[in-house]
């Protein structure tokens, strides 16, 4: 009986890959667990602590890249999320990118990211809800 | 699965409602985040103490910025204005260094005291 049930139950294909670029390990782990919990469609989540490391692997074309703007916790002169996004979008304009930032004066960044076809989400209490809604759109759910 | 109560106890500094909600109340996920938090924030606090002693304002600004996101996950709302001010002071160029150092030391004392309480609360958190 269970065999037939398993055969005829429609399972969700795990086809999506997400890249998280975040140098705050607590935030990255929380985001990873949150996404895995809410999206059974996710095949894999890869985490990077620098934009440069993500850029090197962006040829894999993930469904979504979620990137923090300030990635200088470990390295003062590290490239910002925005500068990495510009490079990625030039190489592949179809990449779905979400830029996160805890900065309050972010108007310029949010306008610039919009120009490059990315989505800006402020790192506040609504951030995870907003990320969930945006990822749903990218997954076509 | 756990259900957290509203933070009515004014002597506590953490409020785990946000974390619990995001993790769907799943204990193993909450515990993993708490463990990462304890290791990371203890290290960051140590680095911040050194940055302030060494008057490294860039490091002070960067560390305060990172800690702001981490402490919000544990609902430590009393630390938000402190870290925000430390971040601003790290970027400040108009005030004198002596004022900035004095203010940063004062804020850092409060930060250390609240973090110490938070670490104890997280380490002793009961999932029952």
Enumerate the domain spans of chain B: 17-123
Cross-chain Cβ contact B62/A37 below 8 Å: no
Cross-chain Cβ contact B70/A27 below 8 Å: yes
Taking phi over 0 as left and psi of -120 to 50 as alpha, with beta for the rest, B24 belongs to: left
Residue A68 pLDDT exceeds 80: yes
Of residues A93 and A29, the one with the higher pLDDT is: A29
DSSP state of A123: S
Cross-chain Cβ contact B32/A128 below 8 Å: no
Of residues B100 and A79, the one with the higher pLDDT is: B100
Question: What pLDDT is attached to residue A58?
Answer: 78
Find chain A residues with C-beta within 8 A of B70's C-beta: 24, 26-27
Low-confidence winner among A65-69, A75-79, A98-102 (lowest mean pLDDT): A75-79
> Given strand A119-122, what is the order of strands in its sheet?
A42-48, A16-21, A64-68, A97-101, A119-122
Q: What are phi and psi of B23, to 5 degrees?
A: -95, 15
Cross-chain Cβ contact B66/A23 below 8 Å: yes
The CATH topology of domain B17-123 is 1.20.120
Cross-chain Cβ contact A123/B69 below 8 Å: yes
Going by C-alpha positions, the residue among A119, A122, A120, A121 that lies closest to residue A138 is: A119
Find chain A residues with C-beta within 8 A of B26's C-beta: 37
Residue B16 pLDDT exceeds 80: yes
Relative to beta strand A42-48, strand A119-122 is unpaired
Cross-chain Cβ contact A26/B37 below 8 Å: yes
Of residues A110 and A31, the one with the higher pLDDT is: A31
Find chain A residues with C-beta within 8 A of B83's C-beta: none
Residue B5 pLDDT exceeds 70: no
The full set of domains in chain A, from first to last, is 14-139 (3.40.50.2300)
What distance in Å separates residue A29's CA from the closest CA in chain B?
7
Find chain B residues with C-beta within 8 A of A131's C-beta: none
If contacts are CB pairs under 8 Å, which of residues 64-83 in chain A contact chain B? 70, 72-73, 76
Produce one character per residue of B56-66: b if its CB has 16 or more CB atoms within 10 Å, e if not: bbebbbbbbbb
Question: What pLDDT is attached to residue B92?
Answer: 81
Residue B82 pLDDT exceeds 80: yes
Find chain B residues with C-beta within 8 A of A80's C-beta: none
What distance in Å separates residue A71's CA from the closest CA in chain B?
9
Residue B79 pLDDT exceeds 70: yes
Single pTM value for the model? 0.86
Query: What chain B residue is nearest to A78 in terms of C-alpha separation?
Result: B62
Of residues A1 and A84, the one with the higher pLDDT is: A84
pLDDT tens, position by position, A29-60 = 999 999 999 999 999 999 999 888 898 887 88
């Amino acid at each position: 009986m269970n065999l037939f049930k398993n055969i005829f139950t429609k399972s969700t294909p795990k086809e999506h890959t997400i890249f998280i670029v975040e140098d705050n390990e607590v935030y990255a782990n929380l985001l990873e667990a949150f996404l895995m919990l809410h999206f059974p469609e996710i095949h894999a989540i890869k985490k990077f602590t620098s934009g440069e490391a993500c850029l090197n692997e962006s040829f894999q074309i993930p469904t979504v890249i979620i990137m923090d703007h300030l990635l200088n916790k470990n390295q003062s002169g590290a490239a910002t999320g925005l500068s990495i996004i510009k490079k990625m979008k030039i190489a592949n304009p179809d990449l779905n990118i979400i830029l996160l930032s805890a900065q309050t004066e972010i108007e310029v960044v949010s306008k610039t990211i919009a120009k490059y076809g990315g989505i800006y989400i402020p790192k506040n209490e609504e951030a995870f809800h907003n990320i969930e809604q945006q990822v749903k759109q990218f997954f076509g759910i | 699965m756990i259900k957290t109560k509203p933070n009515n106890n004014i002597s506590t500094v953490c409020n785990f409602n946000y974390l619990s909600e995001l993790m769907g109340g799943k204990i193993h996920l909450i515990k993993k985040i708490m463990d990462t938090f304890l290791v990371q924030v203890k290290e960051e606090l140590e680095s911040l103490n050194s940055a302030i002693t060494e008057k490294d304002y860039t490091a002070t600004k960067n560390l305060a910025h990172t800690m702001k996101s981490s402490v919000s996950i544990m609902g430590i709302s009393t630390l938000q204005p402190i870290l925000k001010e430390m971040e601003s002071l790290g970027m400040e160029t108009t005030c004198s260094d002596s004022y900035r150092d004095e203010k940063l030391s004062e804020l850092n004392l409060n930060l250390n005291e609240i973090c110490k309480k938070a670490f104890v609360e997280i380490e002793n958190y009961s999932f029952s």
